[in-house]
Amino acid sequence: MLDIKFIRENKDLIKDGARKKHLAFDVDALLVIDDKRRDLMKKVEDAKAEQNKYSTLITSALDNQTRLGYIDQMKVVKESAQNDEKELTDIMKEWQKMMVAVPNIPDMSVPEGDSDEQNVEVRQSGSLPQFNFTPKNHIDIMLEKNMADFDRGAKVSGFRGYFLKNDGALLSFAIWQFVMDFLAKQNYQPMIVPSLVKRETLIGTGYIPQGEEDLYKTQDNEYLAGTGEVSTMSYYSDEIIEKSQLPIKFVSFSPCFRREAGSHGKNTKGLYRVHEFFKIEQLVLCEASHQESVRLHEEVTANAEQLLQALEIPYHVVLNCGGDLGLGQVKKYDIEAWMPSENKYGETHSASYFHDFQTRRLNIRYRDDDGKLRFVHSLNNTAIATPRFLISLIENNQQADGSIRIPPVLRPYMGGREFIK
């Protein structure tokens, strides 16, 4: 959420930001509502002052007739104030609904475009594998090696269900442990965070209202989060952080759930697009500085790249265009790993920064050197997401004899084995 004062003073920037993100938002309509809100707030405050004045006059009245006259006048003021307060309550609901729909302003470096097809490649890393045999896809490999069961997954869980078994499960545990160890050494605080969250946490992180259709909701009006970012961001909600603690860096593990609404017919087989998965997420809170946000954005992106390099997976980094940004994102990189069976890169990581868009909603602040309370800045990045990452790992490391080479960094977590045979 942006500051209403900033919105009033920069309405053309907001309009252009909405245009660039291809989001329908009427900033002029918000300002009309805001004018009504401010007028009503002043009327309610003036009426309260008037009532206080009459309360004093009633107390100090020298005769009963004068006192009764003041009481009658205060009743008129009070009745008018009650009508204004009711109208203000209705206006505030509309105002708040519009405020949470205001898009954050994209960075100047964000390219124009209406979908991920217009994202711009920034760099490539690693050599694409050259096979002297016909490579298989991850589904066939995992079924042959008894690493997964998709039929029984669908029987138990429904569409897009899966079981990971034997080396499929062990490989997932190995990846998680390697990533956690790597980032803990970079002074990121490891956390296991809730997946079951309140609606407020999703509003605070910007997933509601824009992405509500992609969320699972319980009968108790709680939600299953699609990323550990949601609960990790809410860890410090309604708190004031000491500036000396900043930047605060977390690496959070959580199960994640997405309905994948609107993706019917896309990647319906295998592990690419599933309803239930696991993520390790980097999340950083820093002081209110654009330069610091940019620096840390590059840091978390570099962390993800170093993980992929250590795992020896070819990838490229793309800068997301305006139409491929979420409501609150200022700038975003996607990292896409090479998937031989598709003969293309597929998204495995995403790194974004938000300025104070999320923390203003969640009321996370720090006291600056001048004593002024400021909202911290936030940013996040996928460290690893499984089982999707297994696609690249398995397909890129398949061998002519049918075995799967285990990257050296994972071997200590796989009993020292070099291959899955």
Residues noted as catalytic: 258, 273, 347, 350, 388
Q: Which two tokens stand for residue 344?
A: 């293309």
- The rounded distance, in Å, linking the Cα atoms of 197 and 206 is 14
Q: Which two tokens stand for residue 115?
A: 């979908």
HEC sequence for 294-306? HHHHHHHHHHHHH
In terms of DSSP bridges, do strands 364-367 and 239-241 run parallel, antiparallel, or are they unpaired? parallel
The Cβ-side half-sphere exposure at 74, using a 13 Å CA radius, reads 17
Buried/exposed code over 112-147 (b: 16+ C-beta within 10 A; e: otherwise): ebeeeeebeeeeeebeeeeeeeeebbbbebbeebeb
How far is C-alpha 289 from the geometric centre of its chain's CA atoms? 20
Cα torsion angle, 140, 146, 147, 148, sign: positive
Task: Examine residue 111 and say whether the peptide bond preceding it is cis (omega within 30 degrees of 0).
Answer: no
Could you tell me if 70 and 58 are in contact, meaning their C-beta atoms sit under 8 angstroms apart?
A: yes
Buried/exposed code over 178-214 (b: 16+ C-beta within 10 A; e: otherwise): bbbebbeeeebeebebbbebbeebbbbbbbbeebeee
- The rounded distance, in Å, linking the Cα atoms of 354 and 352 is 7
